[in-house]
Chain A
Amino acid sequence: MARIEVHKDHCKGCGLCIDICPVNVIETSKEINNLGYHPAQYKGEGCTGCTLCFYTCPEPDAIVVYRKD
């Protein structure tokens, strides 16, 4: 199963990954991170490994996609 990891302290909460996810498995966290944003978080299941959240994310190290885990 594919999955993603959000490095919450490198996320700026822009929401682009949430908007692009075709299966709607990313959401906004209630937590406020180091940078002062509500970071994105993985809902925990359902990722298809399409990679789009990785490519739409402007931050170098906010999202990692494991396509074949």
Chain B
Amino acid sequence: MAQLKDVLKKPSSFYDEFLRKPDNYQQDTHYCPGCGHGILHKLIAEAIEDFGIKDRTIMISPVGCSVFVYYYFDTGNFQVAHGRAPAVATGIKRTHPDAIVISYQGDGDLAAIGGNNILQAANRGENITVFFVNNAIYGMTGGQMAPTTLLGQKTMTSPYGRKATWEGYPMKVSELLSTLEAPAYVERIALTNGKNLMKARKAVRKAIQAQIDGKGFSLVETLSMCPSAWRMTPVDAKKWVEEAMMKTFPLGVYKDVLDEREVGSWHRALETVPIEKYHEILGLAHEGMEVEGDVESVPKIFRNPKVLIAGFGGQGILLLGQTLAETGMRHGWNSTWIPSYGPEMRGGTANCHVKISSDPIGSPVVSEPNILIAMNKPSLERFEKDLAPGGLLIYNTSMIDIKPTRTDIEILPLPATEMADEIGSLRVANMVIIGAVLEKTKILQKDVVLDSLNAVVKHKKFIPMNSDAINKGMEYARNYKG
């Protein structure tokens, strides 16, 4: 047990001033008088100060009354979506293994909406510390029933008292999580009398120390007073924790395998992958990468192509997009590709978005394409209106028996499916289209496209046919007189 200091005062891991309130009220919290959150905050803050980890601690604020954790702790801070703190904590810890990552969550946040998040993080044995505040109610939203609400307890949404056959039993999170193998340490504490407060202090420190030692997942469940939503005085609330809550939620250590674990055994060092390895994984390891894009030779409207490709699932829509994106990348530009899978994948429309740009790309989503490729009728009907003025529409007349209506765009009708059939396979219709794109936009070079295909296509036997199809597409576009 850590020694008590001679002077106990506000820990230095709290900010000097809490900026959320108007000038002279900046030293106090937003919590109601007697709220357990404040008590737990102080224990955590003291541990952070004593362990000297303020500069490498990252607190995750939940949704709930403790949403403002970040106003108080002078550490790194994230405020995250309801229940998602364990997922965000996982991401931070995995990318910053030396940070001390603390997830702070209420019972609505952790046990209701975030139930699966905490379960999975605990089961993966993330090397994080979770402080779980069980006050048997949703405080912030005005006192609705929580998964942890006691049987018989009256809340806004259980006005006659919680009934097992209607709302189920109070969820015992510590008991549940301690059945998993990965967690290192799980304890339930309370913030009532002196004895319990000292045990709580010890548990808070132990759970943080477990992470510092790289021993894996720890969770401390705190039975915490919510005098406001319980409609009690703070002192009565404290008594209610002892007389009612503790019967359903007995205090104690539910799991502790810390002594069995070696220091560092659950520390997951960040594995950095060398750049050549990325190339190998993505199948990029050849000369295509070296080609420099020559932006000046490209018609202005196509300098930063935003391509929307749509058609039936099975028309090679996604491969078409992938090949364009890959080719852009091999020219030395930035490129993105996102497929839109949907229930419409078979039969209806499938589409994908491609951006190629000499500037960094903010979002991969193409809402106003400057190149639209419509491989079937529904795609033309649906997306024609979205094309930017002056943009290029390429549509597959083999499958589309209507005509585009816009007059402010460039249009290339082309019988891609029939041409592909002549070449020898319906599957190369997408390559005919690529040929047309190359010819019209001048942004991509054919040999680079072929290199990209080599990386993207699994069945290499199609490659000669693809090359033929690209040539035919280019030729068609060159000779087309609109």
Residues of A at the B interface (CB closer than 8 Å) are 7, 9-10, 12-16, 19-20, 22, 34-35, 37, 50-52, 54-62, 64-68
Contacts and interface: CB of A to CB of B under 8 A. Distances in A.
A2 B9 CA distance: 14
Interface of B: 4-11, 14, 24-25, 27-29, 31-39, 41-43, 45, 72, 191, 193-194, 197-198, 201, 227, 233-235, 238
Contact of B38 (A13, A54, A60): A60
Contacts of B36: 58
A16 to B, nearest CB: 5
A22 B234 contact: no
B39 A60 contact: no
11 contacts: A9-B27, A14-B227, A14-B234, A15-B34, A20-B194, A55-B43, A56-B191, A56-B197, A58-B29, A60-B27, A62-B28
A9 B201 CA distance: 26
A55 to B, nearest CB: 5
B69 to A, nearest CB: 12
B47 to A, nearest CB: 12
A20 B42 contact: no
A32 to B, nearest CB: 14
A60 B10 contact: yes
A66 B38 contact: no
A4 to B, nearest CB: 9
Given A35-B28, A56-B191, A64 B197 contact: no
A35 B14 CA distance: 20
B194 A16 contact: no
B7 to A, nearest CB: 5
Nearest to A55: B197
Contacts of A9: 24, 27
Nearest to A66: B7
B38 A59 contact: yes
Contacts of A65: 7-9
B25 A58 contact: no
Contacts of A64: 7-10
A68 B157 CA distance: 50
A65 to B, nearest CB: 4
A18 B259 CA distance: 39
Contacts of B25: 34-35
B42 A16 contact: no
Nearest to B31: A58
A59 B29 contact: yes
Contacts of A15: 34, 233-235
Contacts of B198: 55
